[in-house]
Structure 1
Amino acid sequence: MSKNIQIRLASQRINTSVPGNQRYPKIFTPGQVITAQNEFMRGHGTYEENGELKASVAGVREQVNNLISIRPLKSRYNGEIGDVVVGRITEVQQKRWKVDTNSRLDSALLLSSVNLPGGELRRRSVEDEHMMRQFLQEGDLISAEVQNVYSDGSLSLHTRSLRYGKLGQGVLVKVFPSLIKRSKTHFHNLPVGASIILGNNGLIWICTSINNSEESVGGFVQNLEEVVPRQERETICRIRNCILALTQSKMMLYDTSILYAYEESLKYSVAELLIPEAMLDIAILTQQRLTMLENA
């Protein structure tokens, strides 16, 4: 059975930048002049030269009163209290798990910061310490919330809410943390038949729709034996490819932008969404719809 394989030369590479994208902030490059006025204070990602404030990293401008800083597009995740994150268990230690959350240091999930199976509330005992690997073991994916930020920059996580816990069948997508738009909720049940968790740390989890009845299991149950229908798997793959298309054009990721991109992608097959022309087309159409929504 023959398949068409597309080989593209470097000279034929597609420019994936969205033209005329006025909706999103301007990107400054290192050495570019931000402002020539002396009344502004120098923040992170900037330096002063010849009376001008210039960018020292590639990123977008952020201003708080007279303080100007540049938030880099490509950087490790710097956690804040209350952030929703998706991470992978890397090590089981005494009374805690080490979690890779795409930050500079591994995060810590204490045994006292998780709900016991069934939601039971009691003090943790020695038996619970011995059963830690039965709850979470190396390689497991979890969703959690940042509870505290230590002085060295590492994070302390908790999964006390029943919406947090171990993740089962699904797809993990890694993007730049700066592309995740901060909102009131990062858990979304999309009307197309899938659920997504937009981690502030740049890790996005896509799975089948989550029913409310499944949220009261204590956070340690996985559906690894459940058979996911082909149509739902294709929906998950389509959402993944739409996220990659928006990421390629440096567009912000949130429930509305992902849903618009999904609707615009229906004219392509799932495999065709990986072609650069299709990815750019979806990004442009999505940006146009978001602009119309904002101007309405």
Structure 2
Amino acid sequence: MDDRKRVMPGDVITTGPYRPEQNTILEGRNIVATVVGVSEIADDAVSVIPLTGMYYPKVGDLVIGKVTSHSSLAWEVEINSCYVGFLPASDVFGRGFDAQGDELSSKLAKGELVAARVANFDRTRDPLVTVAERDLGKIDTGDLVTISPSKVARLIGKRGAMIETIEKATGATVTIGQNGRVVVSCESPDGLLKAKKAIQMVEEQAHMSNLTDRVRSMLESRDGC
């Protein structure tokens, strides 16, 4: 059977011994789409790649946010969502944080980017984000690329195959936020341009089959830039 087709919410994608994954649900023996997109059947799993959509926070997600303001206790971080992330000052300053004496803008200023993880979110209030993990915090270098959050899974690829292909071919380091923000760093200007072009290619062709092979061919071509 053709394992890719355009679907609408409520459309039956397939029936049988498959496991429903991203943007699908099981109704009886039918696996049904929950969003507008392109269905994909791989191994024993069925998913739908959305064609549109905003970022909806989930606990544990890595996000790349932009500092917009701060109070005496926390920064407000814009995360490409209808929700605003709140980053506690104690996450950055540590246990010795003094709300009266410590100036938050000395650590993170308006407009600066930060890699953070969604620590708490329950739909009734804006999400709490944290940088209290290794490799999180202020982003000092790299180019920012924004894609649709619905295309993030495609950029990562099955078992990380897509992003591994891009990084190996270009020598770039790519940090992917689940909110559709991507930071690309590379010592080589040509490598940086190729990596950004590959990311844009995934954004534009996420609905197409054999996309990893297409991206690899572009990266290996002499006119890839």
Normalization by structure 2: what TM-score?
Answer: 0.71
Corresponding residue for residue 125 of structure 1: 98
Taking the aligned partners of 1:237 and 1:21, their CA distance within structure 2 comes to: 35
Q: Alignment RMSD, CA only?
A: 4.0
Q: Deviations over 1:208-260 (max 9, x none)?
A: 3xxxxxxxxxxxxxxxxxxxx6xx122112101111112211169xxx949x8
Sequence identity, in percent?
A: 24
Q: Give the CA deviation at 1:125.
A: 0.8
Q: Give the CA deviation at 1:178.
A: 2.3
- CA 1:251 to 1:53, structure 2 compared with 1: closer, same or farther past 3 Å? closer
Taking the aligned partners of 1:199 and 1:27, their CA distance within structure 2 comes to: 26
| Alignment check: 8 A CA contact 1:179 1:251 kept | no
Corresponding residue for residue 238 of structure 1: 194
- In structure 1, what residue type is equivalent to 2:152? I
- CA 1:165 to 1:263, structure 2 compared with 1: closer, same or farther past 3 Å? farther
| Alignment check: 8 A CA contact 1:239 1:262 kept | no
Taking the aligned partners of 1:61 and 1:261, their CA distance within structure 2 comes to: 20
Taking the aligned partners of 1:102 and 1:236, their CA distance within structure 2 comes to: 24
What does 1:187-226 correspond to in 2, within 5 Å? 190-191=167-168, 192-208=170-186
Corresponding residue for residue 176 of structure 1: 148
Taking the aligned partners of 2:50 and 2:125, their CA distance within structure 1 comes to: 17
Q: Give the CA deviation at 1:61.
A: 5.7
Taking the aligned partners of 1:83 and 1:162, their CA distance within structure 2 comes to: 15
Taking the aligned partners of 1:80 and 1:56, their CA distance within structure 2 comes to: 18
Gaps of 5+ in 1: 1-19, 37-43, 47-51, 63-67, 209-228, 272-296
- Alignment partner of 1:77 out of 51, 55, 61: 55
Corresponding residue for residue 220 of structure 2: 266
Corresponding residue for residue 285 of structure 1: none
Taking the aligned partners of 1:141 and 1:235, their CA distance within structure 2 comes to: 22
Asked if 1:28 is matched to 2:7, the reply is yes
Q: Give the CA deviation at 1:98.
A: 0.9
Taking the aligned partners of 1:127 and 1:152, their CA distance within structure 2 comes to: 29
Corresponding residue for residue 19 of structure 2: none
Q: Give the CA deviation at 1:30.
A: 5.9
Please identify runs of 4+ aligned residues in structure 1 that moved more than 2 A: 29-36, 52-57, 59-62, 68-73, 126-129, 150-154, 181-185, 187-193, 260-266, 268-271
Q: Give the CA deviation at 1:29.
A: 3.2
Taking the aligned partners of 1:267 and 1:184, their CA distance within structure 2 comes to: 25
- Alignment partner of 2:70 out of 89, 92, 104: 92
- In structure 1, what residue type is equivalent to 2:82? R
Taking the aligned partners of 1:170 and 1:21, their CA distance within structure 2 comes to: 40
- CA 1:200 to 1:150, structure 2 compared with 1: closer, same or farther past 3 Å? same
Taking the aligned partners of 2:78 and 2:222, their CA distance within structure 1 comes to: 35
Taking the aligned partners of 2:62 and 2:56, their CA distance within structure 1 comes to: 12
Asked if 1:156 is matched to 2:110, the reply is no
For the residue of structure 2 that corresponds to 1:179, the secondary structure is helix
Q: Give the CA deviation at 1:264.
A: 3.5
| Alignment check: 8 A CA contact 2:55 2:180 kept | yes
Q: How many residues align?
A: 202
Q: Give the CA deviation at 1:177.
A: 1.6
The higher radius of gyration belongs to 1
Corresponding residue for residue 137 of structure 1: 109
